[in-house]
Structure 1
Amino acid sequence: MIIDSLRNYFRKIKCLDTFNNAIRVNVNYLSPNTDTYSIEEVPIEPILKHYVNGDSIRQYAFIFTSREPYGADILQNIDNSGFYEKLANEIEQNNNNNVLPVLDNDLEPLEIKVTSTGYAFAVTEDTAQFQIQLKLKYFKKGK
């Protein structure tokens, strides 16, 4: 499954390790605790290009989200934004070095593209949900 491959990919992202040595990346669930992470699917037209032999180029849209401490502390809020900058840079470096999620046999990953900057999505008095939007582009062999 693609979502499980993405989860395993993000568990190896180095900038996540700075926050929590036991990296737990959930799927479609973000804990109310701080320094927690989740990957959530986003609806999108999956097929970008279809070939006559049945092969196709596809995309899978998702967000990477986290709950972080938030409030009047400017340095904490700068750290939160800086984390998402580092995350986007690391994903870009991974693409350049062909470090991509391992997908099922008939799927070949082509790239993960960051499609938004990280931003605060849902804010409470002392925490905020931050997220960044991404797309996995991949090749699917026809059957």
Structure 2
Amino acid sequence: MWACFFLMGIVILSSVQSLSTDIKSNCSMRYVQMRIKFQNCLPVRVLAQACHGSCVSYTATSSIDPKKLETKCECCQYVGRKRKRFGIKCPHKQYKNVYKIRVASIAVPKRCMCRPCSAAPNRLLSAERAIFMQNPMLDLLRIRTLFH
């Protein structure tokens, strides 16, 4: 019986590995044209970066426990952000038909990559949180990284 599970584990492991290697990720930075309306200013079109693409996700039989399922879910998400500045025409407060150029900014991604999916993008996942709770030293490291 153990040999059967061991053999089954090898077969399952190779099929899961094949799932993750057969599917290619294509998460990358793309440019999108956005129409931005700010307060009572005239709308302006801005060329901005955005993350776009797909990443490996699957659910398969667990190689550790064949009675359970194992899920891998990755999404194309940003890693870090920066500000993109642009000019926008706004009416002058005192004079009619007179406009002034104001500098405005939007947040855009610095980089894009496949990251674990979560309901709250770019936040810790519950599984990650559990790892930190099990090992207080990791949690301390995370807190130091956040505040330094």
* Fold in common (TM above 0.5): no
Structure number, greater radius of gyration: 2
Greater strand share, 1 or 2? 2
**TM-score, with length taken from structure 1:** 0.26
Higher relative contact order (CA 8 A, sep 6+): 1
